Amino acid sequence: MKRIFLLCLLLLFLGVKAQVQRGLKGDYNTENFPELFFIWNSANPEVLEPSQFVLTENDKNIDFKFAVLPDSNIKLQKKSILFLWEDIATHKGQSDFAINLLSRFFTETTLNGNDKFNIAVFNRKKDTEKSVLQPLLQDFVDGNNKLSNTVKNHKSSNEHFKDFPLQSDLYLAINNGVDLLKKQPADHTGIIVVITAGLNIKAAGASTEMETVRQNALETGIPVYVIKYPLYGDTPEVNSLATSTYGLTSSSMEVDTALRQLQRFYNNFNSRNYGQDYKITFTTIAKRDGKMHPVHLMIDKVPQRLQSFTAPDMTFRLWVKKNLWLCIALVVVFIVIVALVIYLLLKNKKKKEAAIQANLDNLRREAEKIHQEQLTYQQKQEYEKCKAELQAAEYNLGQLMNLKNLFPRLQCRVGNENFTYNIRKPVTTLGRGADNDVVLNHYRTSNYHAEIVFTGTSFEIIEKVNTNKVIINGQFFQRATLQNGDIIGLGEAVITFYL
């Protein structure tokens, strides 16, 4: 449970630190050269801090002035809004919640005439289906009554799933929704609003992961908003998906509360989808030469697409004539400074290298001394004794296997490869590493994934790493006693145990 909680926190952190998209609006203003400014539009609607921006010219950081511009330039955008509705029978009350929420939203909300809507339900993808989504309308439409009636007339799914009954193909559905919005007119901004309990299918071989959806949504500029029906508690991973695509989340089992949140989301779609404008003013070191000069911008250590600027024309002769003595002084000072900096850097580098080498030598000597002190005769004797006892125990278990004629068979399937392995000793190792007894050559299987141990009365499987789990008959185990016919999952490898 602790590892799952830490994983969710990690996913939440990675989701929040999303790439800032969009870029330069218009062109650089060079009127007051060498002072320039440009307007940068960020896809992130939240106001960023100046400390998050790094501006470089000629591979050097340069100072700049920073101003957040008001959103007065935001125009009413045409939007294609797709509601995804998780329709799964085992989520009691969720379907009624979604029906009431959407029908009230379309009847109680003043919709912008430029907006188009569609609604699609999903649960699990069937092998014969091209998409997990089932759109309730053939195309995106406007009109409150038609949309409200479509929601009310939908029959909720009564399909139950034997394996992973509480989980849906949530990420696959969102990914299909992004692909559906790509087909909408180019002048329409795409938005996804998903109503979900937040539990994505976790079975081996799940076709879509959260990172795939996040990248697809970011590349197409489609934010994902989440109305979460927290039937099974908090699900932070889907929250991070919304945050990292610049959407918002709401969590409530009360229709009135969720409706207010959804209406707030809708009323702020234009400003959030537009993002935020920033005025960046800096003084360039470029000459008045009429040439292109590159400037690079990083936001939260992520490089942004920023085109070069064209410096105003000025001949070298004119510049020298107007700034002769300044030019001479600058050249002299520059040479002195560069020489001094190089001398100090080289001197400091030699000092650091000498100090580091001396420290390493001391550490090696101390480590060797400690190592020699620890390897006493008594420790060696105890090691040999423990080793002999372990070998004797394994020998006795091997003899007991022979006496009881216990030689289980493993039927293994890794991708398209099938093979059989007969257990002949008390400890059998399984993993991707070539020195395992049973080599499972697949990248989702750990090098030393698990081992099967004969205890004298039964055979147990033990997880050797905590990054990849051991699945037995669809459930996770760290250690379990194997029964005849058990199906073991190690990454993408599937093993049937026959006793």
CB atoms within 10 A of CB 171: 23
* pLDDT score recorded for residue 259: 96
* pLDDT score recorded for residue 367: 77
Tokens of 7: 């994983």
* pLDDT score recorded for residue 340: 92
Sorted by where each begins, the domain ranges of the chain are: 78-253, 408-498
* pLDDT score recorded for residue 378: 67
Task: Give, for all 499 residues of the chain, the pLDDT tens digit.
Answer: 444 444 444 444 444 455 677 889 889 999 888 999 999 998 888 899 999 999 999 989 999 999 999 876 667 788 999 999 999 888 878 889 999 999 999 999 999 888 999 999 999 888 778 889 999 999 999 888 899 999 999 998 888 888 888 888 999 999 999 999 999 998 899 999 999 998 888 755 555 788 999 999 999 999 999 999 998 778 888 899 999 999 999 999 999 999 999 999 999 998 888 889 999 999 999 888 888 999 999 999 989 988 999 998 876 776 777 788 888 888 899 999 999 999 998 888 888 878 888 888 788 788 777 767 666 666 677 777 777 777 777 777 777 787 788 889 999 999 889 999 998 888 899 999 999 999 998 888 988 999 998 888 889 999 987 667 899 998 998 899 999 999 999 988 999 999 8
Distances (CA, A) of 385 to 261, 339, 377, 380, 427: 69, 67, 12, 9, 20
Structural contact between residues 462 and 479, judged by C-beta atoms closer than 8 angstroms: yes
State the SS3 of the chain. Answer: CHHHHHHHHHHHHHHHCCCCCCCEEEEEECCCCCEEEEEEEECCCCCCCHHHEEEEECCEECCEEEEECCHHHCCCCEEEEEEEEECCCCCCCHHHHHHHHHHHHHHHCCCCCCCEEEEEEECCCCCCCCCCCEECCCCCECCHHHHHHHHHCCCCCCCCCCCCCCCECHHHHHHHHHHHHHCCCCCEEEEEEEEECCCECCCCCCCCCHHHHHHHHHHHCCCEEEEECCCCCCCHHHHHHHHHCCCCEEECCCHHHHHHHHHHHHHCHHHHHHCEEEEEEEECCCCCECCEECCEEEECCEEECCCCEECCECCHHHHHHHCHHHHHHHHHHHHHHHHHHHHHHHHHHHHHHHHHHHHHHHHHHHHHHHHHHHCCHHHHHHHHHHHHHHHHHHHHHHHHHHHHCCCCEEEEEECCEEEEEECCCCEEEEECCCCCCEECCCCCCCCCCEEEEECCCCEEEEECCCCCCEEECCEEECEEECCCCCEEEECCEEEEEEC
* pLDDT score recorded for residue 14: 43
- Dmax (CA) for the chain in angstroms is 104
Tokens of 129: 């289906």
HSE-CB of 474 using CA atoms within 13 angstroms: 5
Give the angle subtended at the CA of 17 by the CAs of 11 and 19, to the nearest 5°: 125
* pTM flag (> 0.85): no
Its CATH class, for the domain covering 78-253, is: alpha beta
Query: Does the 408-498 domain belong in CATH 2.60.200.20?
Result: yes
